[in-house]
Amino acid sequence: MASLKLLSLLILTISVISAVSQPPLQAPPPPPQSLVNAADTLASSGYTAMSLTLQLIAPTLPLPSATITTLTIFSPPDAAFASSGQPSLAHLLLHFSPLSLSPTSLLSLPFSSTIPSLSPSKHLFVTSTQANQISINNVGISESPIFDDGFVIVYAIDNFFDLNFIIGISRSWGLSEDVMKWTVFAPVDEELVRFSGDFLRYFSLFMRHLAPCRVEWSDLEEMANGTVVSNNVNGFSLEITKDEDNEILMVNGVEITFPDMYESEWLVIHGIRGVIALPESSPEEEMDLMEERRRVSSASDRGEF
């Protein structure tokens, strides 16, 4: 009975997703061989539902390349498909990340880091709190991949990821509840001179160079290109990227020039070449800042500071 229920669910999935994802009168290109091999391995490993799902949506996945695929797939067990009902396409795509994430890379990510997914406007959150255990969106991840050919990596997971998962605020401020842990990206002095005297921006300037987790240089080197580390500025994040030669590490496009400048049990400081810029402010925000500057200037002229 369970097998019949699962088969019926998969047939319904094929009908719904095919109607939504494929344009009419246009045959989709064949999936890359890596995905074909990954689907075969999933089936032989007992993950039949995810294998069929992968075969179904592979031709329409928004992949970075049509010939060379970089992808990490997180596969729920067949029991999760049978018990959860019909997953939406957006929910299924949450289990696909356009990065090739090795176990070492996943273990190097600090708590509350985000991982991009193929689901529109949705990210995955690292929730690992213990060494050598990987958790994403509070779902356990297998220690070793089911499949890994250097381009596509497939992990088994305990259940579906929650599409609307929100990381706990109390935990997002550090790895330990007793001792806060931090990473500071420190610009060179010459870059900070132009901010001298602009004390209204000091707090924002400092906070956007501060991450509420301890990340050493070796951790940064292991991170996949495009990894996002949480930050204290509302609506702002720190993205770790690498150049084309995979030699230069950058945070939000600014080169890290002095790694591990300072280390302690709770703090790591990395020197960077310039200041991390804020996203462009809205006109309303700029007007508010200008008004605040005028108010502070007037108060200063009256000797109130």
Strand 152-156 to 147-148 pairing? antiparallel
Give residue-wise pLDDT tens across range 25-38: 444 555 688 899 99
Give residue-wise pLDDT tens across range 182-195: 889 999 988 888 87
Residue type, 102: S
The tokens 């790895």 sit on which residue? 175
- pLDDT above 70 covers a percentage of the chain that reads 71
pLDDT of 80 reads 93
DSSP 126: B
Residue 126 Ramachandran class (φ > 0 left, ψ -120 to 50 alpha, else beta): beta
- CA distance readout (Å), 279 to 194, 234, 285: 18, 11, 12
pLDDT of 114 reads 82
Asked if 273 and 293 count as a contact pair (C-beta separation under 8 A), the reply is no
Please report which confidence band the pLDDT of residue 16 belongs to, taking 50, 70 and 90 as the band edges: very low
Here the tokens at position 69 are 């695929």
Give residue-wise pLDDT tens across range 56-89: 988 888 876 666 568 999 999 999 999 887 789 9
- CA distance readout (Å), 69 to 85, 151, 154, 241: 30, 6, 13, 19
Here the tokens at position 161 are 């990821």
